[in-house]
Amino acid sequence: MTVFEAYITNVGKYAEGQLVGETLKFPATTEEVQSLLKNIGVDGVRYEEFFITAFDGDVMGLYDYWRSRGTSRGGSKSTVEPTKWGHTTVKKILTLQEYCGDVINFKSYSKSYKMKKRIENPEENRAIFLNVHEAIIDRQTWEKVQALQKGTRRKKPTVTQEPSVFSGLLKCPECGGNLNFHFNQNNHDIKFFSCQNHNSGYRKCSKTHYIRLDFLEQVVLYEVKRLACFASEYENDFIKAMIGRSAKVAENTALRKQRELDALTARDRELDMLFERLYEDNVAGKIDDARFAKMSKRYEQEQGENAKKIKALRLELKKDESKRMDIDDFLETVRRYTDVATITKRMVAELIDHIEVYHAEKQDGITNQRVVIHYNCIGAFDVPDRRKIPEADIIMETRKGVALSYAPEQVAV
């Protein structure tokens, strides 16, 4: 078999979702990967610190591991600490989708057989086959880690300031942008969030959506306690409501994506018709070659962009269909925080998907602010009024003579 025949054969295998000379990166045991994904980044543990505490410094680095097995690898030959892992290596391991049981092909390509350099293929051009082999880590945990890694954080926090556990989770319901974390320059004890599109200078968002961190912590702690109490006291009602909410959220998301996909598909067919008419007009002499070249280039560019969006949407819809909510796991997670006293990074990561913060409004002399918490799996959930569910008025005096109260969002369940 010639090299060209082998190449064609491998391309066919790639298209069918088969593995062709690919292996998972080390570590590849179930215990190591599960421990890595469930702990790192959730409790604020740094990459290097995690390997020291979790493996007692006995896990070799990637290059030293290969050399110990007699396999030649690049890099320095005189490693002082063979068990020291670089944070970039660990971060790369955390992004590997293969641990979920998927096969990802066409990750790179070459412009010509004469070139040895491999070029990274854009994600939309890759072939992703879900659930091909046995998963080492469940998809929900893997996606949670990816969301944590994408969270917005201050790159250079000051000596006395630490990034907030809510960084990257607060959303503006008006413009859809993130709320950035700040602290008062004159009083560092005052920490707050505000809309990035209002702070950018262009004022793309008309309001600041300002919220104090201490006020937000009280609101989240209050709502989590109410949710945990409702789940413990009225388990059957909570399960019914949770199933209904999760199904509704998934249905609304699928409908929105399907409408967008239908619109793009219709536009793609329309562009085909326009290009055909344009070609006929050029042949008939109704438009000159220069005009034909300019218009056809514009149509081709738009059609190319639409093709990428269509492929991405179809992939998202396929992934959404494969997702299944584990009722028992979420219920057990909620119960753990019945008597929680403080906000922790792990609690926020396990329970909350994102939080919508509305701009504070003054009504009848009282300043109210709406905060909507979107939980994992079930979205926004308003705990019904029950006798055993604790209730409290959250009021904070942000400055002398100015008080702010919490206005919970009413969501039908």
Per-residue model confidence as pLDDT tens digits over 65-81: 667 777 666 665 555 45
Tokens at 152, concatenated: 């917005």
DSSP state of 136: S
Residue 358 has a pLDDT of 92
Residue 108, classed as helix, strand or coil, is strand
State the pTM of this model.
Answer: 0.51
Q: What is the mean pLDDT of the chain?
A: 75
Domain spans of the chain?
3-150, 239-325
How crowded is residue 173: how many other Cβ atoms within 10 Å of its Cβ? 13
Q: What is the mean pLDDT of residues 283-294?
A: 86
Please report which confidence band the pLDDT of residue 184 belongs to, taking 50, 70 and 90 as the band edges. Answer: confident
Q: What is the mean pLDDT of residues 92-114?
A: 84
What φ, ψ does residue 343 adopt, rounded to 5°?
A: -80, 130
Please report which confidence band the pLDDT of residue 413 belongs to, taking 50, 70 and 90 as the band edges. Answer: very low
The H helix count followed by the E strand count for the chain is 12, 14
- Is the pLDDT confidence value at 254 over 70? yes
Options 3.90.1750, 2.60.420, 1.10.3470, 3.40.190; CATH of 3-150: 3.90.1750
Residue of higher predicted confidence among 155 and 113? 113
Strand 127-129, strand 103-105: pairing:
antiparallel
Residue 91 has a pLDDT of 74
Residue 229 near residue 390, CB atoms below 8 Å: yes
Please report which confidence band the pLDDT of residue 4 belongs to, taking 50, 70 and 90 as the band edges. Answer: very low
In angstroms, how far is CA 83 from the centroid of its own chain?
31
Cα–Cα nearest to 273, from 303, 301, 294:
303
Distance CA 151, CA 154 (A): 10
Distance CA 355, CA 292 (A): 50
Residue of higher predicted confidence among 38 and 121? 121
How crowded is residue 352: how many other Cβ atoms within 10 Å of its Cβ? 18
Residue 245 near residue 227, CB atoms below 8 Å: no
Find the Cα–Cα–Cα–Cα dihedral 105, 111, 116, 122, rounded to 10°: -40
Residue 98, classed as helix, strand or coil, is helix
Please report which confidence band the pLDDT of residue 398 belongs to, taking 50, 70 and 90 as the band edges. Answer: low
For 312-341, the pLDDT digits (tens) are 888 887 766 655 556 677 788 888 888 888
Residue 338 near residue 228, CB atoms below 8 Å: yes
